Amino acid sequence: MTARAFAGMLQARLYVSRRLVAYSCGCAVLVALAAPAGVTAPLFLCSLLGIVIALDQTPGRHRHLDRCEQSAPLFGRELARAKALVPCIAATLATLLFAATQFARNAPDAPATLLVVPPAVIACALTALSATTRRGATRALYVLLAFATSAGAYALAVIAHNYPAELAFCVIVAFLALRQYGETLARFDPI
């Protein structure tokens, strides 16, 4: 896949989801203005936003983009990488805006938000992507798994105070989730 095709797909996906991304960022800023201390609120809120934006990539929601991508000479894993970056970018942007609002309020938790939340949000969004190619109970299971990923990251970073373990956990989960999403897209039956 060329960098141009990758950028083209990413740009088109972000363009059709632009309202959702804008609402997510607005929601992050509003909650950051009212949020209590700690990284609990940004971690779980931005994970939820990541899941919502990941589910927006479900085949059929943007039918013409889906058809263009399916008929383009691209491998499943290439499609997966480009599509996976959309919820990651959007959720990370929401996290950055959350942290920026905390900085503006002189909240002491802003550096912790910047450090702890992005890995958890990215791992959560990538896990939720596998739900987009499934239906019914399996879909719900992957959404629950995504929430469980955030909860695991929270337990390691906030309860156990072990940031390297949180980072390692999120990297492993994100790698496995992206790999599985690529394999699922390669086998995906568009009918």
Query: What stretches of the chain show up as alpha helix (H) in DSSP?
Result: 3-16, 18-34, 40-55, 63-71, 76-104, 110-129, 136-154, 163-187
Looking at the Cβ atoms of 10 and 20, the one nearer to other proteins is 10
Could you tell me the smallest distance in angstroms from the CB atom of residue 126 to other proteins?
Answer: 23
Tell me how far, at minimum, the Cβ of 124 lies from other proteins, in Å: 28
Task: Tell me the torsion sign for CA atoms 82, 74, 80, 15.
Answer: positive
One-letter amino acid at 184 equals T
Q: Where does this chain bind other proteins (CB under 8 A)?
A: 2, 4-5, 7-9, 11-12, 15, 63-64, 67-75, 189-191
Measured distance CA(162)–CA(170) in Å, rounded: 13
Nearer to other proteins, 14 or 20 (CB): 14
Structure-token pair, residue 30: 């509003």
Q: How far is the CB of 68 from other proteins (least distance, A)?
A: 6
- When the beta carbons of 23 and 188 are compared against other proteins, the nearer one is 188
As measured in angstroms, the least distance from the Cβ of 15 to other proteins is 8
Report how far residue 29's alpha carbon sits from residue 159's, in angstroms, rounded to the nearest whole number.
25
Nearer to other proteins, 4 or 161 (CB): 4
Q: How far apart are CA 176 and CA 129, in angstroms?
A: 12
